[in-house]
Amino acid sequence: MNVENLLIKSLKDLFSIKMLKYSVIPFILSLIVIYFSFFILAGVGLEQLGNVEVSTAETTIQNGIPHTDTFQATLAGSSIIQFLMNYTVTSWIASFLVYTIGSLLMLYLSIFISVVIIGFLTPFILKELQFRHYQDVEIIGYSNIIEALFSSIKWAFFMLMMFFLFLPLYFIPVINIIAFNFPLYYFFHKMITYDVGSTLCSRDEDKQIKYFNSNSLRLKTLFLYLLSLIPFFIFFASVFFIIYLGHTYFIELRKIRMKEV
């Protein structure tokens, strides 16, 4: 099946009643998690701003005797913000940084959360896909909760390590875009291929599909990741990601088992 037909078929499946119902779950859960995460992060930020100590010292000499005058003050977070907003330039810079950094953090956080949440719905989505198109392909699966949890933590750790390792690249134009997105794409690719592969195939079949279709899978997950960068798109499209990749795995799995007969 070519890419265009696969895309059309996946979209038709997405707009079926059952798949639309599944789409509502990650949307609502992601919004709830991001809502609380926003206020937690905002509270931490304001708390850090709320205890800024300012200290100055001035030494003068009178009649050959040195005198030191000291000044200490604590600026509250609201005072700092008010100070910044009193000036046009600082107000513009502060607003730009807050909205830009905040929007980026929320975007990447939404991708991370949606990928984790959709993992719990993957078996149900793939069973529906099997019922609609692949009743001749048996779902085996090999994953378990402990393995899935360990793998998720491992990939999240590598993702964070890459974020720190790529830190010097963030100051280089164009390259910084790739350097910032690559760690999250790595996590996205690992999670979504694991969710689909471990649900459908045996461990050996999953290895075969990933080995003989490695480039194709990377291109498809890259395409899906780029779609997820569209603001708010990830909230509705996470089910589509499983459908799109699920078709790929079902087709390849059918080929493998036909050869074995």
pLDDT in tens, 96-147: 555 555 566 666 777 777 777 788 889 999 999 999 999 999 999 898 889 9
Residue 23 has pLDDT above 50, yes or no: yes
Q: How far apart are CA 41 and CA 123, in angstroms?
A: 33
The reported pLDDT for the residue numbered 176 is 87
Model pTM score: 0.74
Residue 39 has pLDDT above 90, yes or no: no
Lowest mean pLDDT among 58-62, 89-93, 183-187: 89-93
pLDDT in tens, 72-91: 545 444 455 555 445 555 55
Mean pLDDT of the chain: 78
Residue 72 located in a structural domain: no
| List of E strands, the chain | 52-62, 65-75
Residue 80 located in a structural domain: no
Mean pLDDT of 237-242: 88
More confident residue, 86 or 195: 195
* Cα Rg of the chain, angstroms: 26
Residue 45 has pLDDT above 70, yes or no: no
Lowest mean pLDDT among 10-14, 97-101, 160-164, 239-243: 97-101
Residue 180 located in a structural domain: yes
For tokens 């107000």, what's the residue?
Answer: 91
Residue 62 located in a structural domain: no
The reported pLDDT for the residue numbered 54 is 46
The reported pLDDT for the residue numbered 131 is 93
Residue 4 has pLDDT above 90, yes or no: no
Residue 25 located in a structural domain: yes
| Dihedral sign (CA 254, 256, 257, 258) | positive
The reported pLDDT for the residue numbered 71 is 47
Residue 177 located in a structural domain: yes
In the chain, the number of structural domains is 1
Q: Strand, helix or coil at 117?
A: helix
Residue 212 located in a structural domain: yes
The residues near 59 (Cβ < 8 Å, ≥ 6 apart) are 66, 67, 68, 69
The reported pLDDT for the residue numbered 235 is 65
Residue 188 has pLDDT above 70, yes or no: yes
Q: Distance of CA 253 to CAs 66, 200, 207, 256, Å? A: 85, 8, 11, 5
pLDDT in tens, 154-174: 999 999 999 899 988 888 888
**Residue 151 structural domain:** 3-33+107-260
Residue 239 located in a structural domain: yes
The reported pLDDT for the residue numbered 233 is 73
Cα 173 from chain centroid (whole Å):
22
The reported pLDDT for the residue numbered 107 is 67
CB atoms within 10 A of CB 197: 24
Q: Strand, helix or coil at 142?
A: coil
Structure tokens at 119: 């993992």
